[in-house]
């Protein structure tokens, strides 16, 4: 195992576990720009397993447009690391050439992934203050953006010119998390306002800190503590309150053991098998990763609560990670006698997911 600094190879490039960081990085501006431009000219691919798992973007050789991402997703053309490093200098030390000769970061390095998110949010969404507490999920921004854009299509009936915009469009974010990412994207791209609920007081406080530190989010996000880990809407919405839609990324696993086993399975697919780094990057506190019954039971409870308050949301929506769970959710919605059900596929490279949406 090499040291954190690694070894120096030919051409003055510093090697780090199959990842090359240019020595010229220390010299700002033009030397760095020449290196990055030359590297970008070599159209090659990110390391497949790392990229698919940790970024949600295709691991195939870098195309001009990322297949599967929504047409309005500003990350469809991939990451312009030169621009991002200029906007957020903290990213620069992590940028270099991977083993395919492509400009990238080491997606198995949690610090690099967080620095990339900070740069993306600053460059593309005007968020200058964003961080995460240790151990919390670092979300893939392109995938989260896709959910928001598909929701906008749902609200507009598929007619882009009719997408509802502005603060009067209220979205209920069930489980806002420490990252506050859905309000950031939805507020920036569509001007929506959000009510974010959260069971974890640490995550809730950190999301509040993000909003307080960014003027662009002022007045756009309200926070409510959910006291029950088994409730979605109950206990956090007011009588007669209405939202254009709800949005949710439910805990996937049914137990802490299942969550860890899932992390280890992903590790086995990574190049190099650096388990510790990947598990840290996979991250997540218990409330983010698992709940009794996993995503199926969580969504079933959400459906049951929507039956009690059918007028709460114009559209109730949630992510559903595993395709084999879809028949179970469709059956629950059939039993709930919903007026309309939509399943919106999302594809980020090799990663497949879907939004389930229903209304009464």
State pLDDT tens for residues 67-98.
Answer: 689 999 999 999 999 999 999 999 999 999 98
Q: Are strands 243-248 and 170-174 parallel, antiparallel or unpaired?
A: parallel
Same domain flag for 147 and 80: no
* Range 303-342 burial, b when 16+ CB lie within 10 A, else e: bebbeebeebbbbbbbbbeeeebeebbeebbeebebeeee
> Is residue 193 in a domain?
yes
> Is residue 221 in a domain?
yes
Q: What is the pTM of this model?
A: 0.78
Closest CA to 187 of 117, 247, 113, 240: 247
- Would the pLDDT of 110 be above 90? no
Where in the sequence is the domain holding 76, given as residue range(s)? 7-125
Same domain flag for 117 and 147: no
Phi, psi for residue 302 in degrees, rounded to 5: -60, -40
Same domain flag for 215 and 354: yes
Question: Which of 125, 160, 188 finishes a domain?
Answer: 125
If you ran DSSP here, which 8-state letter would residue 253 be given?
A: B
Tell me the C-alpha distance between 332 and 330, whole Å. 5
* CA 241 to the chain's CA centroid: 28
Same domain flag for 93 and 194: no
- Would the pLDDT of 359 be above 60? yes
* CA 53 to the chain's CA centroid: 12
> Is residue 194 in a domain?
yes
Same domain flag for 182 and 295: yes
Which tokens is 55 given?
Answer: 């970024």
Instruction: Point out the least confidently predicted range of 24-33, 103-112, 347-356.
Output: 24-33
Phi, psi for residue 213 in degrees, rounded to 5: -90, 0
Which tokens is 259 given?
Answer: 């969550």
- For residue range 276-302, what is the model confidence (pLDDT) as tens digits? 544 544 444 556 665 666 899 999 999
What's the number of domains the chain is made of?
2
Tell me the C-alpha distance between 54 and 278, whole Å. 9
Closest CA to 203 of 252, 132, 138: 132
> Is residue 38 in a domain?
yes
The proportion of the chain whose per-residue pLDDT surpasses 90, expressed as a percent, equals 62
User: What burial class does residue 169 get, using C-beta atoms within 10 Å of its C-beta: 0-12 exposed, 13-18 middle, 19+ buried?
Assistant: buried
Same domain flag for 244 and 289: yes
CA dihedral in degrees (280, 323, 73, 150; nearest 10)?
Answer: -130
Q: What is the mean pLDDT of residues 97-115?
A: 90
> What pairs with residue 315 in β-bridges?
245
CATH number at residue 341: 3.40.50.150
Tell me the C-alpha distance between 281 and 284, whole Å. 9
Closest CA to 288 of 210, 212, 206: 206
Tell me the C-alpha distance between 137 and 179, whole Å. 8
């Amino acid at each position: 195992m090499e040291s954190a600094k690694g070894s120096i190879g030919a051409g003055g490039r510093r090697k780090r576990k199959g990842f090359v960081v240019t020595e010229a990085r220390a010299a700002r501006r033009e030397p760095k720009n020449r290196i990055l431009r030359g590297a970008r000219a070599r159209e090659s691919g990110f390391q497949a397993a790392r990229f698919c798992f940790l970024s949600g973007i295709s691991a195939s050789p870098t195309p001009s447009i990322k297949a599967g991402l929504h047409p309005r997703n500003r990350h469809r053309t991939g990451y312009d690391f030169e621009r991002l490093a200029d906007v957020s200098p903290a990213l620069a030390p992590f940028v270099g050439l991977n083993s395919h000769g492509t400009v990238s970061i080491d997606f198995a390095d949690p610090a690099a992934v967080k620095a990339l998110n900070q740069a993306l949010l600053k460059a593309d969404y005007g968020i200058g203050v964003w961080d995460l507490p240790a151990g919390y999920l670092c979300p893939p921004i392109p995938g989260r953006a896709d959910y928001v854009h598909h929701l906008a299509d749902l609200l507009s009936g598929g007619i882009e010119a009719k997408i509802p915009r502005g603060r009067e469009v209220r979205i209920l974010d069930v489980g806002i998390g420490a990252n506050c990412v859905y309000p950031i994207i939805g507020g920036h791209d569509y001007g929506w306002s959000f009510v974010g609920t959260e069971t974890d007081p640490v995550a809730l406080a950190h999301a509040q800190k993000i909003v307080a530190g960014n003027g662009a989010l002022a007045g756009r996000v309200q926070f409510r503590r959910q006291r029950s880990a088994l409730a979605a809407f109950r206990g956090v919405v007011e009588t007669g309150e209405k939202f254009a839609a709800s949005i949710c990324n439910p805990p996937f696993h049914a137990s802490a053991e299942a969550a860890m086993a899932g992390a280890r399975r992903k590790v086995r697919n990574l190049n190099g098998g650096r388990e510790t780094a990947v598990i840290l990057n996979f991250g997540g506190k218990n409330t983010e990763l698992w709940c009794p019954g996993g995503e199926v039971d969580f969504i079933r409870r959400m459906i049951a609560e929507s039956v009690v308050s059918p007028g709460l949301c114009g559209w109730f929506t949630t992510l559903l990670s595993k395709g084999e769970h879809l028949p179970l959710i469709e059956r629950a919605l059939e039993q709930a006698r919903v007026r309309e059900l939509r399943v919106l596929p999302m594809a980020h490279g090799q990663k497949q997911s879907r939004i389930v949406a229903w209304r009464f």
